[in-house]
Chain A
């Protein structure tokens, strides 16, 4: 749920309670005030009537309300107390054809030694009407308030929250391997400034860690080159000295092969580190068809040895902009992969379309795990000489250029496909 909506729900609830309570209090107050005012009016009428009755005794005979708002009835004897009494009552109203609430003032006055009871009335506000009116008015007020809040939220608050969304966007699109500037949103709001600072610190830390790790791989690989060179060359010299017993020589030969493997592994790691460090920038137009043909040719001896049939389908010319050495690495790895993980008398099918390159090879009868084959050091079971980095390198290179490298297993063939179309 969006923050705006959440706050809207809370505000709606709060307004409902506040307006509800307030309207009850207001209604009671209003009613009291109306009564007060009516009572004053009644009192005033009483005085006026008593005054008038002194001069115009005919009034004293007005013992029914009739069309007037008072009646006077003589009473026998002394009623004693002469306090005015106000009360609410109901009277029949001709126009409305029903009983309506009225305020009545009952009082007693003396005229020429006779006591009279005077009743003065004034119509009261109809309470149910008042409540109904008030209810509708309050409901409108409530709706208007909620609408105003929605509008304010959407226009004003959204603007207020803008820095937050900007920071969020930067964090969402943050790429650790890109040299991005720190977030610099211009805002006066303390919380957002703090968020911005915290985000920048976090980004800087992550990047530093990432760079340190990358540098470690690269430095370690570089530093290993010389010791590897020494070991390799010393063992080569030892082997060719001819002074070794056959068994010793075999052991040395094995160690030498292991060092060669180590060298290849080191080279591959170094290459990966370099791709990730984006150290390849010599982008040129590469004729993929020619390049692939070259590698098929280069590995001809190997495919002949394994009796693998290589077939190239489709003659769409595929050209891409890539660093030459990376292009070499990518396509030689894929061709090599298809040949080396093949079976004797197997097949390799290469297909070119406008935007795609696909290479399929026979091999194991079961599909490989697509989610892990591109991971580093993910090895098949049968090969012991491969370092498990070939496909990682391919993926790193494709990733570097925004190409899509996918694997699928169909018709008993392992297929690797590169889509060069960056828009897909």
Chain B
């Protein structure tokens, strides 16, 4: 899988590259409008992360270019601007998703995977790891060929973890993903722990090969036993 990161801030570009490479993608960086234009004209990418404000031109211009090339379907806009207008404009021009800076790495991973999945749609979509299979379309979990009942929140949590295998998921990233943007100002994210605890119990009881590890009180990580 090949991903192009179009971002003028080098530090951010490098960080995204490092993070995405952990997921075993091939990542290329473009720091300017022209650099990016050249790359998209020559190469094919499975996913493009596109910053709107670029030296030399607007990311929206690039998007138009991509649209004319018929390649705009795999673009995720990453912008500092959280404006509805920009969002709508971007999506109108064919972008697949819109992510406002700053974002959690886990969130980016999830979005990238969603784009890749949509573009390679074949049959029902499942994520599996060891003896665990999560069917996204049917919202079911199967461990050792036996179905394990999950409530809505537990399913969303496990889905998020499986999109971020072996990666850190901070509590706030998880809260935003599962409970929505509005939860972010909670002074106390302890309530998340109860859902995690239940999920852990269910995984343990079903003898799954995976478990949720706590990480320094700041978040969790899904690992193989």
Residues of A that sit less than 8 Å from B by CB: 222-223, 225-226, 228-234, 236-237, 239-240, 246, 249-250, 252-253, 256-257, 260, 263-264, 267-268, 270, 279, 282, 295, 298-299, 301-302, 304-306, 325, 328, 332, 336, 340, 383-387, 390
Task: Say yes or no: A260 contacts B172, CB within 8 Å.
Answer: yes
Residue B38 at the chain A interface, CB threshold 8 Å: no
Task: Say yes or no: A302 contacts B182, CB within 8 Å.
Answer: no
Q: Which residue of B lies closest to A262 (CB)?
A: B102
Task: Say yes or no: B185 contacts A305, CB within 8 Å.
Answer: no
Residues of A near B102 (CB, < 8 A) are: 225-226, 228-233, 263
Pairs A-B, 8 closest by C-beta atoms: A385-B187, A229-B102, A240-B168, A305-B191, A253-B218, A225-B80, A332-B182, A229-B101
Task: Say yes or no: B153 contacts A301, CB within 8 Å.
Answer: yes
Residue B126 at the chain A interface, CB threshold 8 Å: no
Task: Say yes or no: A226 contacts B221, CB within 8 Å.
Answer: no
Residues of B that sit less than 8 Å from A by CB: 9, 11-12, 15-16, 18-19, 80-84, 100-106, 153, 166-168, 170, 172, 179-180, 182-188, 190-192, 194-195, 215-219, 221
Residues of B near A306 (CB, < 8 A) are: 191
Task: Say yes or no: B15 contacts A233, CB within 8 Å.
Answer: yes
Residues of A near B19 (CB, < 8 A) are: 233, 236-237
Partner of B15, one of A237, A250, A384: A237
Closest-CB distance, B25 to chain A (whole angstroms): 15
Task: Say yes or no: B194 contacts A301, CB within 8 Å.
Answer: yes
Q: How long is the Cα–Cα vector from A232 to B99 in the complex, in angstroms? A: 15
Task: Say yes or no: B104 contacts A230, CB within 8 Å.
Answer: no
Residue among A239, A304, A340 having the largest count of chain B Cβ atoms under 10 Å: A239
Residues of B near A305 (CB, < 8 A) are: 190-191, 194
Residues of A near B186 (CB, < 8 A) are: 302, 336, 340, 385
Task: Say yes or no: B182 contacts A336, CB within 8 Å.
Answer: yes
Task: Say yes or no: A249 contacts B216, CB within 8 Å.
Answer: yes
Task: Say yes or no: A233 contacts B179, CB within 8 Å.
Answer: no
Residues of A near B166 (CB, < 8 A) are: 240
Task: Say yes or no: B187 contacts A236, CB within 8 Å.
Answer: no
Task: Say yes or no: A236 contacts B9, CB within 8 Å.
Answer: no
- If A250-B216, A250-B217, A298-B179 are given as contacts, then 16 extra A-B residue pairs at C-beta distance below 8 Å, sorted by A number, are A228-B102, A229-B102, A230-B11, A232-B104, A233-B16, A237-B15, A240-B166, A240-B221, A301-B191, A301-B192, A301-B195, A302-B191, A305-B191, A328-B182, A336-B186, A385-B188
Closest-CB distance, B111 to chain A (whole angstroms): 14
Q: How long is the Cα–Cα vector from A84 to B168 in the complex, in angstroms? A: 135
Residues of B near A253 (CB, < 8 A) are: 215-219
Task: Say yes or no: A230 contacts B180, CB within 8 Å.
Answer: no
Task: Say yes or no: B12 contacts A257, CB within 8 Å.
Answer: no
Closest-CB distance, B150 to chain A (whole angstroms): 15
Q: How long is the Cα–Cα vector from A252 to B183 in the complex, in angstroms? A: 23
Residue among B100, B179, B187 having the largest count of chain A Cβ atoms under 10 Å: B187
Task: Say yes or no: A230 contacts B182, CB within 8 Å.
Answer: no
Q: How long is the Cα–Cα vector from A282 to B88 in the complex, in angstroms? A: 12
Q: How long is the Cα–Cα vector from A299 to B189 in the complex, in angstroms? A: 12
Residues of B near A301 (CB, < 8 A) are: 153, 179, 191-192, 194-195
Residues of A near B16 (CB, < 8 A) are: 233
Closest-CB distance, B58 to chain A (whole angstroms): 15
Q: How long is the Cα–Cα vector from A332 to B179 in the complex, in angstroms? A: 12
Task: Say yes or no: A230 contacts B9, CB within 8 Å.
Answer: yes
Q: How long is the Cα–Cα vector from A267 to B188 in the complex, in angstroms? A: 19
Q: How long is the Cα–Cα vector from A170 to B18 in the complex, in angstroms? A: 60
Residues of A near B219 (CB, < 8 A) are: 239, 253
Task: Say yes or no: A234 contacts B15, CB within 8 Å.
Answer: yes
Residues of B near A332 (CB, < 8 A) are: 182
Closest-CB distance, B39 to chain A (whole angstroms): 21
Q: How long is the Cα–Cα vector from A325 to B9 in the complex, in angstroms? A: 29
